[in-house]
Each structure stands twice: as C-alpha cells, then as structure tokens.
Amino acid sequence: MTPEIHITSSFSKKNKTQKTAFIYFYLEGKGIHGSISKQLTLLIEKKWKEDSGKKGVRETKHIDLETETGFDHVFVAGLEQKKNQESHVRNTVADVARTAKSLQCTHLVVDVQGLEEYADEVAEGIILGTYEFIEFKSKEIANKISLVKDVTFVSTKNKSQIEKDIMKGIVAGEGVCLTRDLVNTPASHMHPETLVNAAHAISNKSEGRVTVEVLDEKECTKLGMGSFLGVAQGSVRKPAFIVLKYKGIGTKTFTFVGKSITFDSGGLSLKPADAMMDMKMDMSGGASVLGVFEYLARVKPKVGFAHVYGILPACENMPSGNAIKPGDVVTAMNGKTIEVLNTDAEGRLTLADALVYAEQKLNSDYIVDMATLTGACMVALGTDLAGLFSNDSDFTSIIKKAAFDAGDELWELPLYAGYAKQMKSSIADLKNIGGGRYGGAITAAVFLQEFINKAKWIHIDIAGPAHKDGSPKGVSPKGGTGWGVLSIIRFLEGYSHYEDIKASSN
C-alpha cells in the first residue's frame, strides 16, 4: 500500500482519528531543526538531554511529549555530518519511520525545514523503512498489520521545488518497493508472463513514454538465441524476452539488463534443498530493471541518452524430460557455441544472448547488467556487497558515484583475462563453468565478456545483497531489497549526460 503524501508549511494535530508520530531532525553542530515553536524546541532539547544524560548525543531518540504536543509520539532523529550524507539521512529516516510504524502510528509528520537539500532522501527513507509485504497473508492477519496511511512533510521553503524533490523521492522509493514485491513473490505466482504483465503495467502509466516489446519463443529462435532458449526448454512455462524502452535527449544508447530466472532449481544439475529455498529471488536483476522503469514512467526525467533500454530475458530453470542436459551444446546469438557442463550456471547463458541483443539489435554504447549470478561472489564479498566488473574505468567511476549516493554498497573485482582459458571447451568454443571452485564470480564475469564486442560494459553480481535474511535495518528490509534501483535512477538522473562522463569521472 502506498501512503498518501501531503506537503504543508505548518502542521498541528487536529485529527485525533489517526495515531500520529512527529519526526524532527537534530543536526550535528546545528541543534534541532524545524518549524516548531521555540518553546517546544526547548522542551525537546531539555528532554533529550535528560534522557541521554550527556550533551551532544546524536542517536535517534523517541521522546515522550504526548501531553505537551498532542502527538502520540515525537521522535528526534539525530544526524551526523558524514561523507555519505545521502545514505545516512535515508537510513536514519528509515529506522525512525519503521519504529513509528511498529508503534502503530499510521500518520507520520516529518519536519524537513532546513533539511530541504535532502528532501528526496527523507522521502525515500520513509517509503523504504515502512515497507511491508502482506500480499500472501490472509485478510484476517493482514488487517492486524499496521501500515502507514498518510505522510505529511512540513517546510516553509520554496513549495514547488520541495514538492518536486519529495515526489521524486517517493516515486524512487516506490520503484524500489515494486522490485521488492516482485522478488518476494513466490515462484508459484511469478512466471515470465508475470514479468511481462508488470512491464505492461509500467508502460500503461507512462503516457506513452515507456514502450514494451516482448519476444516469444519463436522470435527468439529466429534471432538465434540458443543459449537463452536452452535454459528455458526444461520448463512448462514459456520464456519471454522483454525489452522496455524510454526516450531521452542525448546521442548515445544505454541498456540495463537484469537476470530474470523466475525460479532456479538448478535444472538437471539440481540444487540441494537448502540452496533452492530462496531461488524465487533469481529474477532480482530483472525486478530492478522494472523498478527503474517504474520511476522513468512516472517521473519522466530528462535523461542524457538518446535511448534507455531495459532487458529481461525471463524464464524458469527446471529439470524435466525436455531439459537441457549436462554436456549439451548450445549456440548463442553471436554464433559462439557453449558446452553446458552445469545446468545450474544458467544465468550467464540467458545473459549471453541478452548482451548480444543489446549490442547488435539496440546498438547500445553502454550496458549495465545486474544478476544474482554466483554463490562465489557471496563467498568473496559477503552478503552486503555486490561485486562489480567492468571493461571501462570511466564508466565504472560514474556508476560507483551513483551507487555511493544511493547507499548501494559494492566492491570492484577484477575482470581478469587470465581466467578466460578456464572457460574454453574441448568440443565447443566455450563451456559455462570454470576449472574449479575458486574465483567463480570472476570466471562468470569473464564468460559474459565473451558476449560483449565494443560496448562499455559493467556487470554487477548481486547474489548477496539482492535478498536479506536478517531483521530490517536502515533501508534494508527482510527479503527482497531492491538493490541497485536507486543507483541506476541516480545515474540516469544525475550522471548520464554522457559526453560529460569522462570529465566528471575524475
């Protein structure tokens, strides 16, 4: 459920029907911000110091001021001066909003006076922190879960600018939440066709700005996508190669590719039970593509590319009498032959054709792919960090900058050409697994590079951060996280005026 958003220059609690939380900010070195009365500020500062027992404490405080203010709960969110201020604001707000929600507050009033510079991050924090996935709870249980129904932002500054920033933050947050919903949806309800429907739904709210083309099995066969179709052939569900398009104002073309395996059983190289449990999330990359297009469709920003494309090569990876067998050879769209020695290394097979399509059919100059590609990347980097691989350092610095602002943590790993020989097959051009257990995230990336010709390309392995097991913290929920959506939105909004990319990457 998306809350109703209000923006006002002053707010006092009149409506007693909803449980309301008021959120103020305490800025390091500046004290409490906001449009509240001097009297109330003093009261909050006094309470703050009483509660903390020492001066200058900056953590978030929940202050009991119900009788003085008429609000059910008052929070003071402490903000430090940090290098990564955007993520600090976003995470702090998410934590406060989640606490308010857990106290059954259905109306959040956020005083952003003096914090207008971070209005979009505040809005993102509210939406991301109060996210809940109740789709599969029975009505009876769902009705008992408290949801935020209204959010009021208070500021006396330039109304139209702040309104714009807040709405951008809200829609970006909702884009991330759409991605989370898709990732959390069980494979019983998430098929290639479901992703097709989601893409059409986005297009339908875009006033013609986002268009969708879906290639079915027959068309994929015609194009020679033997690698993608080889993965898809074991399932009773038909594959769908989904292409979304958004028009910008530059000269170059950018394509965002997302791995879209709606369930990864491993195929005939079947996964053990424990490893299969979370494999409904193997379409997280594709879900992130849709999250970004949700934003493009609704905000319609000026993007510095002539075209922005999104590709979801969507299918299931299942064992069956018709499934691809270890040792089979497939031919990808660029003519390269691949010996499929492990049917569980399927993501790279679907991405291979998507990357070739991006370059050959869409003339992409720049490509980012996101994929829950290897368990090895999680061994290397843990579950917080995504692994980034690229053939272009300027492009990488820009994407890293955008990810830093977005709070999407990543680490660059080498696209080490020396491992390419591990991917050589004795009977075909390539095989789909490396020589052994070691360096599995790198060998996967090196395999993908075989399908890039001249595009500037970034591969991001999101096996770790796409899905979280622990309890929610900051913007990170349990389950699907929507990793990468904000990064690509920031990139397209802020850094995509591509002729400038070289200059601005220094």
The residues that touch Zn ion, with contacts defined as CB under 5 A, are 261, 264, 282, 344, 346-347
Is there binding between residue 106 and ligand BES (CB under 6 A)? no
282 touches ligand BES (CB under 6 A): yes
- The least CB distance from residue 264 to Zn ion, in Å, is 4
348 is catalytic: yes
40: Cα within 13 Å, side-chain hemisphere: 21
The residue sitting closest to ligand BES, measured at its beta carbon, is 375
Q: Is 347 in the site for ligand BES (CB under 6 A)?
A: yes
Query: 27: part of which helix (H) or strand (E)?
Result: strand 20-27
**First CA to last CA across the chain, in angstroms?**
42
* Cα angle, residue 224 at apex, residues 219 and 230 outer, rounded to 5°: 90
The mark string for 438-457 relative to ligand BES (x by CB under 6 A, - otherwise) is: --x-----------------
Please report whether residue 264 would count as binding ligand BES according to CB under 6 A. Answer: yes
Considering only 32, 108, 463, 501, the residue that binds ligand BES (CB under 6 A) is 463
- 374 versus 487: smaller Cβ distance to ligand BES: 374
Nearer to ligand BES, 27 or 275 (CB): 275
- Asked whether 164 and 122 are in contact (CB, 8 A), the reply is no
Which residue, 375 or 494, is less far from ligand BES as judged by CB? 375
Burial state string for 119-144 with b = 16 or more CB within 10 A and e = fewer than 16: bbbbbbbbbbbbbbbeeeeeeeeeee
Given the rule CB under 6 A, which of 51-59, 214-222, 249-257, 345-353 is the region that contacts ligand BES? 345-353
Instruction: Check 259, 348, 431, 468 and give the catalytic one.
Output: 348
Alpha helices in 23-84 (DSSP H): 38-52, 66-69
Task: Catalytic residue, from 13, 247, 271, 473: name it.
Answer: 271
Among 332, 345, 403, 448, binds ligand BES (CB under 6 A): 345
Minimum separation from the CB atom of position 242 to ligand BES (A): 19
To the query of whether residue 298 is one of the catalytic residues in this protein, the response is: no
What would the two tokens of residue 107 be?
Answer: 């109306």
By C-beta, is 7 or 379 nearer to Zn ion? 379
Please give the residues from 350 up to 389 whose contact with ligand BES meets the rule CB under 6 A: 372-376
Select the binding partner of residue 97 from Zn ion, ligand BES, none (C-beta < 5 to 8 A, by kind): none
Cα separation, 322 vs 314, whole angstroms? 18
Q: Which two tokens stand for residue 62?
A: 């929940």
Number of residues that bind ligand BES (CB under 6 A): 15
Residue of 266, 322, 256, 214 lying closest to 487 (CA atoms): 256
Binding segment (CB under 6 A) for ligand BES, from list 123-131, 213-221, 337-345, 360-368 = 337-345
Q: Which is nearer to ligand BES, 203 or 476 (CB)?
A: 476
From candidates 119, 385, 433, 445, binder to ligand BES by CB under 6 A: 433
224 makes contact, choosing from ligand BES, Zn ion, none, with CB < 5 to 8 Å by partner type, with: none
Q: Quick one: 106 or 317, whose CB is closer to ligand BES?
A: 317
- ∠ CA 443-424-356, rounded to 5°: 70
What does the CA dihedral 494, 499, 501, 506 come to, rounded to 10 degrees? -130
SS3 325: coil
Contacting residues for 149 by C-beta, under 8 A, at least 6 apart: 1, 3, 4, 18, 106, 107
Nearer to ligand BES, 348 or 400 (CB): 348
Please check whether residue 353 is in contact with residue 386, taking contact to mean a CB–CB distance below 8 angstroms: no
> Which DSSP string do the residues of 130-178 spell out, in sequence order?
T----TTS-HHHHTTS----EEEEE--S-HHHHHHHHHHHHHHHHHHHH
CB of 285 to Zn ion, least distance (A): 10
d(CA 115, CA 111): 9
Whole-number minimum distance, CB 257 to Zn ion, in Å? 15
- As annotated, the active-site residues are 271, 348
Q: Which residues bind ligand BES (CB under 6 A)?
A: 264, 282, 342, 344-347, 372-376, 433, 440, 463
